[in-house]
């Protein structure tokens, strides 16, 4: 990168907020995919005005800019695949206000998700989206990827809580979309367009978030089944019984075996599927809901049930789920975490399809996820050092996507597309739909400087 460009960046954000040192560049060259692309410079702006000036310069000089939150994405959405500038939003980390009267909050994009949840809960309010990365992922990244989490089955995903945004366009204009009201239909819904756009259409600088009253209590149950079919039927039966739990998490037989071997946790040998079911709401209702759920699932091959009566017991149940990811490294050192989603009634078919793919290619595939909305985290486990393993994994992933689409599903429920799934876009979207999206990108970012190469191959 030319020194004059570095000097312009330093004039905008301050010399101490720009780095071109190789050691620093390496720190911002990768995400959870573990792929690496070295940027030419990393900048740390403090506000929308500085971001505006950066994008005006980058647009004029045709320098690519890659927005980055915590860099925790699984699809390469923040990777600087074409060098250029990595723009880090970490300094925009303020909770600007929490409005208990109107049940909204205004935040900057660098606020960590869990810290925001804790802040609103202190005043009796609730922000439901809870991606697994909530302890370190940022709200700006959550909006850019339209993050989900276990509570989506009852409460919905990130886009359902975003009322308005302040953002900087690729040309450097600062605009506002939406607002603070629950209703608003003036013009196109640019707020929803930005949710899930993966930083390709604008850089978010403020977020107006809808909040809910904090549920009074919650009750957690662990139910072990003798088959994945029984667990899937249980999910449909629970919701058919007019109960929508806050969470409905599942683990398949392979996952259970991994947890057993890696941790020594005592789970019955007959258990071939697990559901973690949590209900929340008014305290006096929860016991009745829990008992009704247990009655509904009992005929469906239940091996054992564990019901938490204290917060500590609830934590012990959730520990089973949290032990999954650490246990996977005992299978093989390299993990490809895909997040397909199918109609929840078709989860057993999808699991059987994945088992067949695993057997065909001779590689372990571990499945767990959000049974309530059919979102399955398919973990293809290989050792890259073994010749031919990477090729097996690539073929297996493509076949998994094809199987999900055949069942009426999608190849990405909450991780986004980024670069890892972009080559598979034609499997899911028809050419006219892709062309329509490219038209939007071209209109809003004619010089293709903002996160180029992501979502839609160009």
Q: What is the pLDDT of residue 85?
A: 98
> What pLDDT is stored for residue 175 in this prediction?
98
Per the document, the length of the chain is 458
Domain CATH for 237? 3.30.70.2190
Q: Are 41 and 133 in the same domain?
A: no
Alpha carbon separation from 316 to 197, 255, 270 (Å, rounded): 37, 17, 21
445, part of any domain: no
Q: What are phi and psi of 66, to 5 degrees?
A: -120, 105
Does position 107 have pLDDT exceeding 90, yes or no? Answer: yes
Q: Residue 384: which CATH number?
A: 3.30.70.2740
Q: Are residues 9 and 67 in the same domain?
A: yes
Q: Are residues 384 and 287 in the same domain?
A: no
pLDDT digits (tens, 9 = 90+) for 178-235: 999 999 999 999 999 999 999 999 999 999 999 999 999 999 999 999 999 999 999 9
Which tens digits make up the pLDDT trace of 375-401?
999 999 999 999 999 999 999 999 999
pTM of the model: 0.94
pLDDT tens digits, residue range 155-179? 999 999 999 999 999 999 999 999 9
Q: Among the three residues 213, 238, 271, which one is the final residue of a domain in this structure?
A: 213
DSSP for 118-172, written as a single string: HHHHTTTEE-----TTTTT-BHHHHHHHT---TTHHHH--GGGGEEEEEEE-TTS
Considering the domain architecture, whether residues 232 and 254 belong to the same structural domain is answered as: yes
Same domain, 151 and 177: yes
Domain that holds residue 16: 3-88
Domain end position, chosen among 88, 118, 144: 88
Picking from 278, 303, 326, the residue at the C-terminal end of a domain is 326
Q: Over the stretch 315-344, which tens digit does the pLDDT of each residue have? A: 989 888 888 888 887 889 999 999 999 998
User: Do residue 209 and residue 229 come from a single domain?
Assistant: no
């Amino acid at each position: 990168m030319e020194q004059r460009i570095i000097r312009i960046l330093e004039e905008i954000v301050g010399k101490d907020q720009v780095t071109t040192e190789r050691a620093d560049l390496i720190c911002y060259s990768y995400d959870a995919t573990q792929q690496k692309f070295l940027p030419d410079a990393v900048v740390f702006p403090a506000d929308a005005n500085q971001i505006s000036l950066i994008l005006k310069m980058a647009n004029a000089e045709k320098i690519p800019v890659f927005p980055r939150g915590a860099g925790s994405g699984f699809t390469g959405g923040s990777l600087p695949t074409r060098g250029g500038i990595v723009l880090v939003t970490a300094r925009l980390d303020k909770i600007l206000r929490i409005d208990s009267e109107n049940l909204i909050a205004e935040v900057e994009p660098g606020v960590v998700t869990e810290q925001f949840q804790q802040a609103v809960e202190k005043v009796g309010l609730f922000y439901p989206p809870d991606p697994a990365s909530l302890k370190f992922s940022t709200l700006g990244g959550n909006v850019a990827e339209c993050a989900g989490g276990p509570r989506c089955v009852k409460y919905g995903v990130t886009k359902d809580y975003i009322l308005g945004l302040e953002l900087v366009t690729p040309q450097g204009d600062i605009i506002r979309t939406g607002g603070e009201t629950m209703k608003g239909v003036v013009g196109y819904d640019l707020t929803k367009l930005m949710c899930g756009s993966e930083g390709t259409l604008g850089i978010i600088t403020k977020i107006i978030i809808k909040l809910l009253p904090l549920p009074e209590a919650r009750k957690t149950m662990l139910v072990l089944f003798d088959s994945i079919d029984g667990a899937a039927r249980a999910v449909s039966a629970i919701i058919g019984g007019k109960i929508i739990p806050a969470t409905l998490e599942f683990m398949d037989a392979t996952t259970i075996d991994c947890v057993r071997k890696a941790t020594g946790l005592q789970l019955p040998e007959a258990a071939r599927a697990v559901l973690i079911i949590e209900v929340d709401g008014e305290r006096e209702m929860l016991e009745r809901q829990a008992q009704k759920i247990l009655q509904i699932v009992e005929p469906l091959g239940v091996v054992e049930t564990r019901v938490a009566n204290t917060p500590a017991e609830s934590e012990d149940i959730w520990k089973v789920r949290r032990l999954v990811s650490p246990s996977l490294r005992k299978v093989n050192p390299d993990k490809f975490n895909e997040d397909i989603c199918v109609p929840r009634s078709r989860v057993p078919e999808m699991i059987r399809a994945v088992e067949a793919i695993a057997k065909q290619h001779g590689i372990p595939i571990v499945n767990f996820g959000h049974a309530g909305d059919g979102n399955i985290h398919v973990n293809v486990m290989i050792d890259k050092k073994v010749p031919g393993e990477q090729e097996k994994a690539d073929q297996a992933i493509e076949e998994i996507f094809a199987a999900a689409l055949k069942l009426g599903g999608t190849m990405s429920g909450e991780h986004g597309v980024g670069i890892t799934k972009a080559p598979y876009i034609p499997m899911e979207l028809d050419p006219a739909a892709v062309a329509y999206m490219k038209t939007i990108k071209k209109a809003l970012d004619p010089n293709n400087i903002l996160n180029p190469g992501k979502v839609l191959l160009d």
